[in-house]
Structure 1
Amino acid sequence: MTNPEPDPQEVICTSHDGGAAVEVLTPRDVPLGGPRAMLVRRTLPQRQRTLIGAWCFVDHYGPDHVADSGGMTVTPHPHTGLQTVSWLFTGAIRHKDSVGSNALVLPGEVNLMTGGRGISHSEISTPETDILHGVQLWVALPEHARHTEPTFEHYAPGELTGDGWHGRVFLGSLLGDTSPVVTHTPLLGAELHLDAGTTLDLDVDATFEHGVLVDTGSLTVAGEEVKQGELAYVAPGCATLALTAHDDVRIVLLGGPPFGESIVMWWNFIGRSHEEIVGYRQEWQDQITRDGAVVVDSQDVAPGRFGTVIDDHTTPIPAPPMPNVRLRERG
């Protein structure tokens, strides 16, 4: 998924932002697309919290009636230095990319795309989709992996069940299950459902930061009440994460050790300096522009760092203008 903001701000992330052991982050609405823009609720990054482990971007959307929202129509756009993680609750999205992937994003199945040195892709909800509901997540790649070759993985985790709860682990390890999907820093990603009144004490890695995104219902996370749509940040140090559901609850649990590196994130690019971001933007613009205008058909995109999204004939998304100030570095 692209960052649709017309004037995206730089995001400078450091290894650990400090703060309370548990803090609750509220979302802001961001329109995705044109006049009938689908709204997404963004809880990460925020001014006070920019990373949870290597997780650097959390968009939460739906349930939306596609007839009203227009669905998801994200035409070809570029990425560098990150992995995208697509996880759906309802609906279906067609993913295509410049390494030749053509796959459906379906409920309960994870699609992970590694942008690495550069990739382009598109995501468009299928004509059969009536209700669209899910999350789109980004993971920052560490220095040793950020120039890796782009790749794509798909995995359908099995369902785990217990007394008053069930769930699926799509990245990392939890509840005795481990995902085989390749990540470049330790990560945790899981969907969990708790029946009203259920308390679940999760054994977790005490070196991890955790994020609990509440999709439906409300619950208490490590003693702090978290409502629908909010994201609870839990600092490292807890080997057990206590969850108590006030209602029937669905959450997405994210985690990872503090990232330990500084990054600059602007639009769809993650780099380490102002110059890198400027260079990535210019390379994308050069690929999609002919005679001063953006090409209409993505099959006319020139060869280059980001490649061509195979079998996609929609118009690529041009990059917004760079801000009038230098993107800062912090290390």
Structure 2
Amino acid sequence: MLMQRTIETIFPAQRVIDDGDMLLWRALPLNGRASLGPFVFIDHYRHRSRRGIGDSPHPHAGIEVISYLLEGGVAHRDSLGFKDQLGPGDAQWIRAGRGMLHAEQPSGGRHGLQLWTSLPPEHKLDEPAYASFRAADIPEIEHAGARIRVIAGSLEGVVGPMKTTSPTVFAHIRLDPGASVTLPVDAAPELGLYVLDGSLAGENGAALGPGALAVLTSGSQISLRAAPDQGADVALLGGTPVEGAILFAGPFVMDTPERLAQAKRDFASGAMGRLEGVPF
């Protein structure tokens, strides 16, 4: 018997930047919610100029960094030696592990997501790795009035190309005005919905607009419906809950204070590699 997932809690994302050029929503971490499945960080950004986030070389450790570009383009380079160019609909995965440096340079205005998953304790110090996925290689499911791109995990037997360390679901769902869709999902993982654009019809007639993170109850299927006067652009996110403690120190997320201190020392000493003279 299929059990319907419903909205348990709605968290409004924080407007970290809203200055006319850039709008940056942060949907994790929030007061009252530290994670969703393995995800511990959700940034949703839109900017008009070539100004970006993370333009200067900077480190990461203890996490996977997942980027998904809806509009625009960005150049990537890192201390692993990878150089890449992402365009609309492309996705990127970086296992930072014990530590690496990267930098991004937008080619112009951009709209997208950056997500972090916390690596399990036994994988916190794994060797860094990189992969990217072109829009044409991300499978799509079509229903009447609905298009679902499966980036990671599986929906309706369609498997996304991104392989994360912890079992993860990441899909991009676009609904036409008034359209609805029902999808079977794994009953075990934590799941939530983040509204990117438009309006999603919530329960009791409430509408969920951009910047809303809706955490779902357990169950084996979800039903989504766009508001009748506009479509909805939604990210479905979740997976196996975080293992171990979640300790932030800027771009490092570890499970013990000792590992955080080691990450800082490794960055300062150059053990995470170098990128245009950083670290000095």
Paired residue for 1:255? 238
Preserved contact between residue 245 and residue 254 of structure 2 (Cα < 8 Å): no
Q: 1:202 aligns with which of 183, 188, 192?
A: 183
Partner of 2:215: helix, strand, or coil?
strand
Structure 1: how far apart are the matches of 2:39 and 2:200? 22
User: Does residue 24 of the first structure (1) align with residue 10 of the second (2)?
Assistant: yes
User: Does residue 49 of the first structure (1) align with residue 15 of the second (2)?
Assistant: no
Task: Kindly provide the CA deviation profile for residues 25-50 of structure 1, in whole angstroms up to 9, marking residues without a partner as x.
Answer: 11212249xx9984421010112011
Paired residue for 1:226? 208
Paired residue for 1:138? 116
Q: 2:261 aligns with which of 278, 290, 295?
A: 278
Distance 1:122 1:37, change over 3 A: farther
Distance 1:104 1:162, change over 3 A: same
Paired residue for 2:125? 147
Preserved contact between residue 23 and residue 234 of structure 1 (Cα < 8 Å): yes
Report the alpha carbon displacement of residue 263 of structure 1 after superposing the two structures with TM: 2.3
Distance 1:125 1:260, change over 3 A: same
Paired residue for 1:180? 161
Give the TM-score normalised by structure 1.
0.75
User: Does residue 106 of the first structure (1) align with residue 92 of the second (2)?
Assistant: no
RMSD, aligned α-carbons: 2.4
Q: Give unmatched runs, 5+ long, in structure 1.
A: 1-19, 288-303, 319-331
Structure 2: how far apart are the matches of 1:183 and 1:221? 30
Structure 1: how far apart are the matches of 2:201 and 2:119? 31
Task: Kindly provide the CA deviation profile for residues 124-156 of structure 1, in whole angstroms up to 9, marking residues without a partner as x.
Answer: 102xx2x21111110111122221110001123
Preserved contact between residue 99 and residue 267 of structure 2 (Cα < 8 Å): no
Give the TM-score normalised by structure 2.
0.88
Structure richer in strand, relative to its length: 2
Preserved contact between residue 86 and residue 105 of structure 1 (Cα < 8 Å): no
Preserved contact between residue 152 and residue 161 of structure 2 (Cα < 8 Å): yes
Report the alpha carbon displacement of residue 73 of structure 1 after superposing the two structures with TM: 5.1
Task: Kindly provide the CA deviation profile for residues 266-287 of structure 1, in whole angstroms up to 9, marking residues without a partner as x.
Answer: 2111112223212322332343
Q: Give unmatched runs, 5+ long, in structure 2.
A: 1-5
Instruction: Give the partner amino acid of 1:250.
Output: D
Structure 1: how far apart are the matches of 2:70 and 2:90? 9
Structure 2: how far apart are the matches of 1:263 and 1:71? 27
Q: How does 1:1-331 map to 2 (within 5 A)?
A: 22-31=8-17, 38-62=22-46, 64-66=47-49, 70-72=51-53, 74-126=55-107, 129=108, 131-156=109-134, 157-221=138-202, 225-235=207-217, 237-246=218-227, 247-287=230-270, 304=271, 306-309=272-275, 313=276, 316=278
| Sequence identity percentage | 30
